[in-house]
Amino acid sequence: MSVLELHYDVPGDDFTRAGEASSAIKNKLKQIGIAPDIIRNVAIATYEGEINMVIHANGGTIDATVDANAIALVLKDTGAGIPDVELAMQEGYTTAQEHIRALGFGAGMGLPNMRRYTDEFELKSEVGKGTEVRMKVYIKK
Amino acid sequence: MITLVKQSEKQYDSFFHSISLDEESCKGCINCLKRCPTEAIRIRRGKSLIIKEYCTDCAACIRVCPHHAKKSTFDSFDSVFGGDGSQEYEYKIALPPPELYAQFNNLDEKSLVLNALLGLGFDDVYEVAAAAELVSEITRKLLKNEKALLPVISSACPSVIRLIRVKFPNLVENISPLVSPAEMAANAAVRRAMLRTRLPREKIGVFFITPCPAKVTEVYAPLGVKKSQIDKAIALSDVYPRLLPLMKDIAARGLESEASKEINKAGRIGVSWGGHGGEAGGLLTDNYLAVDGIENVIKALEDLEDSKFKDLEFIELNACSGGCVGGVLAVENPYMAKVKLNILRKYLPVSGTRMDEAIPPYAYHDEKIEFQPVYRLGETLEESINLMMTVDELVKKFPGLDCGCCGAPTCRAHAEDTARNLASEKDCIHIMRKYLHKAEGLEIHES
């Protein structure tokens, strides 16, 4: 079975472009005929991750791999890192600054949504080095 | 699988469209190719062809064609009197849309237009604006229902529905379950006519005066309803010049306000449907979004799909800028038309029509609108992934200029066509140039 690999760089300084990578992934998945509800889950998870990278980590990279069983997503950044992962995973917890929240971002639902809409979720973070999120959405349940 | 067919080969399937090509006038230039919002056009053998599965009848190609080769198909005005070879109906009903009223200068009373329609030879007139008020009323009820999937997306613009059906699988469920005002008007008008005349349905002809090709398609290959109750779609631009002299005559005889209350029913809400924002305005809620122009509509649907809009109850989407007054078969400038609608609205009651009884069953779609994955590259996931990888490799070979010379709108679209064996790599003039230079032993100069 063939494997489709997609790679995107997420620029860190441009809010107007945040969401471009997740939108591109979404459109690729539509073209290869992935079921709409699975596309929705992938789109939400990648979009939240992409926004997080722009807000907190000055950008990063998104890699998506599609095979017959699942869509695997790897989001990496070299930002500040998360000191307390358990706290960060709580709904509504946010460290976004006021001017970011005024834009409608940073409601503290990013990480919880990424976990909710994926079948596998793993987060590794080191303060001062960066964060890596690995997620999987199953195509075959 | 997608199909490239000449538009004369008509099939009334669910991918029927109402854009035709005057082959002699078509120069095979790239104007329509580059402006089609769904990348539905290809130039083949010097002529512009439409991939019917991608076409949403938005008429962008008709607007931009400098040679007037792209046209809207519709029924001729003569068809009202059987002049197109079909039988003449014994009882003829005209369905004028609200945007018709916006075409005339200094129109204070729409009864003048309605009387003139009777003067043209119609036996009855049923205002689409009146039916629109019923659609507004039922939609208001719908939004109050706790089970409603919000936001509800308007089902009034057929071009938008076709767009959602092929591009936005996750939004199909949000489409309003109600028929369009024109369809609603046709149903109500037919019932009124059958009661009044005792004629069987087939002796009654329902003629919708259409502002655009998308609504012609809704007559012949509707989505959401199995069969339209509209029999023919005649062009607004054909009716307009015929109405003018009649209207002058009626006004000269001082009869402009003479129209029975039964015919002249619509109020402000119904008339407003003719312009952008009118439909949403009739819902009496602030939590709505109204977007016009097909490119803006696509952007809004993308954002909606990404859950970027919060707390919306209703979304009105019009493929044409300005709303239905901006249809390609309208005569007046759409922005001027909107001003005229506003003036006409001023002296009308808020709403002229009310649902007296229970909601009639014909107000609802009787057929599910389903997602059609026409943009899918292959039949299976495996095939699609392989094709996607081929496309990505091909895209690297092409220059990325999106010049359209190969006949596809972008290098990526051409790569997809090539991967699907619908085109050849060598249709790219930049690749051909390199090829020729090589054959002639010339050095290649990048330009």
Check pLDDT > 60 for residue B287. Answer: yes
Block residue for tokens 């051909």: B432
Check pLDDT > 70 for residue B421. Answer: yes
Q: What is the domain count for chain B?
A: 3
Ranges A12-26, B57-71, B95-109: which has the least confidence: A12-26
Q: Flag whether residue B381 sits within 8 Å of chain A, measured between CB atoms.
A: yes
The secondary structure of B296-318 as a DSSP string is: HHHHHHHHHHTT---S--EEEEE
Is residue B184 domain-shared with residue B248, that is, in the same domain?
yes
Q: Tell me what percent of the residues of chain B surpass a pLDDT of 70.
A: 96
Is residue B192 domain-shared with residue B318, that is, in the same domain?
yes
Is residue B406 domain-shared with residue B307, that is, in the same domain?
no
Q: Do A32 and B307 touch (CB under 8 A)?
A: no
Pick from A19, A28, A39: which is nearest to B388 by CB?
A28
Residue B115, phi then psi, degrees to nearest 5: -65, -40
Sheet of B41-44, strand order: B4-5, B47-51, B41-44
Domain membership of residue B445 (yes or no) is yes
Is residue B125 domain-shared with residue B251, that is, in the same domain?
yes
Rg (alpha carbons) of chain B, rounded to whole number: 24
- Containing domain of residue B404, as a range? 379-447
Is residue B56 domain-shared with residue B91, that is, in the same domain?
no
A37 contacts on B by Cβ (under 8 Å): 170
Name which of A1, A25, A32, A109 to mutate to probe chain B: the one with the most chain B Cβ atoms within 10 A of its Cβ: A32
Query: Among B42, B73, B104, which residue terminates a domain?
Result: B73
Is the CA virtual torsion B177, B183, B184, B190 positive or negative? negative
Could you give the 3-state DSSP secondary structure of residue B116? helix
Domain membership of residue B371 (yes or no) is no
d(CA B38, CA B160): 12
Domain membership of residue B178 (yes or no) is yes
Nearest CA in chain A to B302: A23
Name which of B381, B389, B396 to mutate to probe chain A: the one with the most chain A Cβ atoms within 10 A of its Cβ: B381
CA-based angle B144:B152:B177, to the nearest 5? Answer: 90
d(CA B355, CA B415): 54
Q: What angle do helix axes A20-31 and A36-56 make, rounded to 10 degrees? A: 160
- pLDDT classification of A138: cutoffs 50, 70, 90: very high
d(CA A45, CA A64): 12
Ranges A95-99, A103-107, B44-48, B391-395: which has the least confidence: A103-107
Is residue B356 domain-shared with residue B415, that is, in the same domain?
no
Check pLDDT > 80 for residue B10. Answer: no
Query: Among B23, B40, B73, which residue terminates a domain?
Result: B73
- pLDDT classification of B212: cutoffs 50, 70, 90: very high
- pLDDT classification of B444: cutoffs 50, 70, 90: low
**Shortest CA gap A79–chain B (Å):** 25
Strand-pairing partners, residue B75, are B234
Pick from B170, B377, B389: which is nearest to A2 by CB?
B389
Nearest CA in chain A to B389: A4
Check pLDDT > 60 for residue B8. Answer: no
Is residue B61 domain-shared with residue B91, that is, in the same domain?
no
Nearest CA in chain A to B309: A104
Pick from B302, B308, B384: which is nearest to A31 by CB?
B384
A26 contacts on B by Cβ (under 8 Å): 305-306
- The reply to whether ipTM tops 0.90 is no
Residue A124, phi then psi, degrees to nearest 5: -120, 130
Q: What per-residue confidence (pLDDT) applies to A15?
A: 80
d(CA B278, CA B127): 16
Name which residue leads in pLDDT, B317 or B438: B317
Nearest CA in chain A to B378: A32
What average pLDDT does chain B have? 93
Separation of CA B99 from chain center: 14
d(CA B252, CA B260): 19
Check pLDDT > 80 for residue B399. Answer: yes
Give the pLDDT confidence of B238-278 residue by residue, as tens digits.
999 999 999 999 999 987 777 677 899 999 999 999 999 99
Q: Do B381 and A44 touch (CB under 8 A)?
A: no
Strand-pairing partners, residue A72, are A65, A136
CATH superfamily ID and name for A4-138 = Histidine kinase-like ATPase, C-terminal domain (3.30.565.10)
Report the pLDDT averaged over residues B3-18: 69
Give the pLDDT confidence of B218-227 residue by residue, as tens digits.
999 999 999 9
Closest CA to B374 of B33, B17, B54: B54
Q: Tell me what percent of the residues of chain A surpass a pLDDT of 70.
A: 98
Q: What per-residue confidence (pLDDT) applies to B445?
A: 60
Name which of A1, A2, A66 to mutate to probe chain B: the one with the most chain B Cβ atoms within 10 A of its Cβ: A2
Is residue B34 domain-shared with residue B157, that is, in the same domain?
no
Q: What per-residue confidence (pLDDT) applies to B332?
A: 97
Q: Do A36 and B169 touch (CB under 8 A)?
A: yes
Q: Do B20 and B72 touch, CB atoms closer than 8 A?
A: yes
- pLDDT classification of B48: cutoffs 50, 70, 90: very high
Is residue B332 domain-shared with residue B383, that is, in the same domain?
no
In sequence order, what are the residues at sequence separation of 6 or more whose Cβ sits closer than 8 angstroms to the Cβ of residue B311?
Answer: B287
Q: What per-residue confidence (pLDDT) applies to B83?
A: 82
Q: Do B170 and A39 touch (CB under 8 A)?
A: yes
Give the pLDDT confidence of A47-74 residue by residue, as tens digits.
999 999 998 889 999 999 999 999 999 9
CATH for B39: 3.30.70.20
Report the pLDDT averaged over residues B55-84: 95
B308 contacts on A by Cβ (under 8 Å): 19
Give the pLDDT confidence of B101-135 residue by residue, as tens digits.
999 998 988 999 999 999 999 999 999 999 999 99
Check pLDDT > 60 for residue B5. Answer: no
d(CA B94, CA A98): 58
Is residue B168 domain-shared with residue B285, that is, in the same domain?
yes
Is residue B330 domain-shared with residue B183, that is, in the same domain?
yes
The secondary structure of A71-130 as a DSSP string is: EEEEEEE-SS--S-HHHHTSTT-----HHHHTTT---S-HHHHHHHT-SEEEEEEETTTE
Could you give the 3-state DSSP secondary structure of residue B425? helix
CA end-to-end distance (rounded Å), chain A: 18
Q: What per-residue confidence (pLDDT) applies to B14?
A: 86
Give the pLDDT confidence of A3-21 residue by residue, as tens digits.
999 999 999 878 888 889 9
Q: Flag whether residue B386 sits within 8 Å of chain A, measured between CB atoms.
A: yes
Report the pLDDT averaged over residues B310-314: 92
B305 contacts on A by Cβ (under 8 Å): 26, 40, 43
Q: Do B385 and B374 touch, CB atoms closer than 8 A?
A: no
- pLDDT classification of B353: cutoffs 50, 70, 90: confident
Q: Flag whether residue B167 sits within 8 Å of chain A, measured between CB atoms.
A: yes
The secondary structure of A5-20 as a DSSP string is: EEEEEEESS-GGGTTH
Q: How many cross-chain Cβ pairs, A to B, lie less than 8 Å apart?
A: 60
Q: Do B225 and B186 touch, CB atoms closer than 8 A?
A: no
Query: Among B73, B96, B115, which residue terminates a domain?
Result: B73
d(CA B342, CA B135): 21
- pLDDT classification of B357: cutoffs 50, 70, 90: confident
Q: What per-residue confidence (pLDDT) applies to B363?
A: 97
Q: What per-residue confidence (pLDDT) applies to A105?
A: 74
Tokens of B275: 């312009």
Nearest CA in chain B to A33: B376
